[in-house]
Amino acid sequence: MVIVANVDGETEGEVVLDGLGFAESPRWRDGALFVPDWAAGEVHRVGPDGRAEVVARCASFPLCVDLDAAGTLLLVSSGTSELLRQELDGTLAVHADLSSAGSPPWNEVLVGPDGTAWVDAIGFAFPDGDPRPGYVVAVRPDGSVVRAADDLMFPNGMALVDGRATLLVAESYRHRITAFDVRPDGGLDGRRVWADLGEGTPDGVCADSEGALWYADVPAQRCVRVREGGEVLDVVTTDRGCFSCVLGGDDGRTLFVVGQRWGGPDEGASGRVLAVRVGVPGVTGAA
C-alpha cells in the first residue's frame, strides 16, 4: 500500500507498471508516460488506455531519457558517452558525442524548449563508489557539447523553473538542490543553493506550476515536495526506494513515482510505477 501523507490526509496510490528490473527517469508527454527500465535496456510507453509497449531499446546503465518539443525521444547511452535520438523509423542515431566534454557514467538528461539538452555525469564509476565531483554539460541543438557546471556531488535529477530561466540540479551527496541561471546559449551562471534538504537525499525531480519541486528519496522511500528554501509541503511514502517522479495525467495532478527495492542492478524485478493524486499540477508543455 502507498500512503500519501500531506495536508489532506492519507490516500492510496495505483500501480501503473510492475515487475520492471530497474525503473527510472519517467517522462510525461502528449497523454503518455515514458519509463525506462535500466536493467532490461528498454523504454516503455504507457498510453491513455493503460497499455504498455516497448518503444526503444538501448543497453545502458544508466538509461535516462527525455523528449524534445517535437516529441522526439532522446536517450543517454552512458557506456558509449552518446546522446541518442530516435528517428521516425524507430532507429537510434547519435545526436551528440558527450566524450569531448567529460567521461561516464552519464546520468540524467533534460531538454529545454529550444532544443538545448543538459546531461549530467555522476562523477564516479560503478561499483567502486569513490565520491568524486560530477558536472553538467549543455548539448546545443546543433549537437555541440560544452561543460556548463562543475563540482557537483552526484548530480541527479534536473528541472526548469521560473519560466524556464532557472535550472535546478539535485546533488544527492550534498543533500541539496542547486540552482543556476540559464544563459541563452544553454550555459549556466549564478550558482546558488535553492534548498538545503537536511537529511534528504534527492534523486529524480520534477517541478510543478507553483514553482515547487518534488524530489525522490531512495533511502527514505518517499517523494517530498519542497519550495525554494527547503520548506516541506507534501510527502508521499512508499514501501520501496523512490528513484524519480514526474507530474502528468489529464489534468497534470498525477504524480508518477518510480522505485524498487535497491540492492544493486541484480536485485531482481522489483521496479514499480505508482500513480498518486496531488493538489498542484505540473508545468504544461515541453520541459
Question: Which tens digits make up the pLDDT trace of 93-139?
Answer: 999 999 999 988 999 999 999 999 999 999 875 556 567 899 999 99
* Whole-number pLDDT of residue 3: 55
270 Cβ contact partners less than 8 Å away, ≥ 6 residues apart: 240, 260, 261
Bridge partner residues of 66 (DSSP): 74
The pLDDT tens digits of the residues spanning 80-92 come to: 999 999 999 999 9
**7, pLDDT greater than 50:** no
Residue ranges covered by each domain of the chain: 3-277
Q: What is the DSSP string of 224-261?
A: EEE-TT--EEEEEE-SSEEEEEEEESTTS-EEEEEEE-
The CATH code of domain 3-277 reads: 2.120.10.30
Range scoring the smallest mean pLDDT among 27-31, 107-111, 123-127, 224-228? 123-127
